[in-house]
A and B are shown apart, each in its own frame.
Chain A
């Protein structure tokens, strides 16, 4: 296994890590790379910010006015009595 990896590989591992734990080899490779590469350290900090923004986006967006849609939905409901109960 090559201990020295490229920036492309390092950013791939960073992304992969957000879904699954890395293998021991992957963790060592990423750690070594981040020690020597300032650009990838920056990319990692930014990736974490993006990840947080994506996770929290609903709480940070104002609620839309949905009255028209609500009326449309209520008018489109199949008539009462068609349910199975």
Chain B
């Protein structure tokens, strides 16, 4: 069952030398922190998750097999921690579930309501490289209700595996589509507003 020959790469095992681990911490913490703060609104929670990730890695260092790079290994631990954070946040009933029934962008026949109908995002109609939009991305993500943010982030944390996501969140696929759909509509609209205000200010 040795797949070293097929993968071709083997990373050195992590020793018990603390200086070796310190080098790992010094080289990867900034990227881990960026990853976490891009996905979690509260910077203190993001820092916390990175810290517990690194401590978990230290405690499990003798189980690091060297089949993936230490960086990939650290990121997979962090992804698990963030998914776990969102699983708990999602199941917390205090996170504004009432919005699910009232928030809609369509009339009773399912057509766009006039004030919510998509508008072009500028001369390039949203097909540009997103340079202007990416500045608003975090702002708009942070304004999503927590459980919608959870539904959205889970999609990327669990590599679009719908069955795994529904299991984590404890909901049906239909319920998950609806939440994802609403989260994305809200994102679309928020980015549109931000873009419009920005253009007006120039």
Contact = CB atoms under 8 A, between A and B. Distances in A.
B8 interface: no
Contacts of A85: 16, 62
Nearest to B135: A60
B110 interface: yes
Given A64-B34, A76-B51, 6 more contacts: A6-B109, A7-B106, A11-B185, A16-B177, A39-B118, A83-B61
A28 interface: no
Given A6-B106, A64-B30, A46 B47 contact: no
B18 A69 contact: no
A53 B130 CA distance: 7
Interface of A: 5-9, 11-12, 15-16, 18-20, 39-40, 42-43, 45-50, 52-55, 57-58, 60-66, 69-70, 72-74, 76-78, 80, 83-85
A55 B184 CA distance: 14
Contact of B33 (A20, A50, A64): A64
Interface of A is mostly: helix
Contacts of A48: 126
Which of A18, A63, A74: most chain B Cβ within 10 A?
A74
Contacts of B188: 43, 46-47, 50
A57 B38 contact: yes
Contact of A80 (B18, B33, B117, B133): B18
Interface stretch (B20-28, B65-73, B84-92, B95-103): B20-28
Given A43-B188, A57-B38, A64-B34, A78 B59 contact: yes
Interface residues of B, number: 58
Contacts of A43: 118, 188
Closest 8 CB pairs of A and B: A6-B110, A8-B110, A8-B106, A42-B118, A66-B30, A66-B29, A63-B30, A46-B126
Interface in B98-120: 105-106, 109-112, 117-120
A31 B133 CA distance: 27
Contacts of B106: 6-8
Interface in B38-84: 38, 47, 50-51, 54-55, 58-59, 61-62
B31 interface: yes
Given A46-B118, A69-B50, A83-B61, A61 B38 contact: yes
Given A45-B125, A46-B126, A64-B30, A6 B177 contact: no
20 contacts: A6-B106, A7-B112, A15-B180, A15-B184, A18-B155, A19-B162, A20-B162, A39-B112, A42-B119, A46-B191, A50-B184, A50-B191, A57-B137, A61-B138, A66-B32, A72-B51, A73-B55, A83-B16, A83-B61, A85-B62
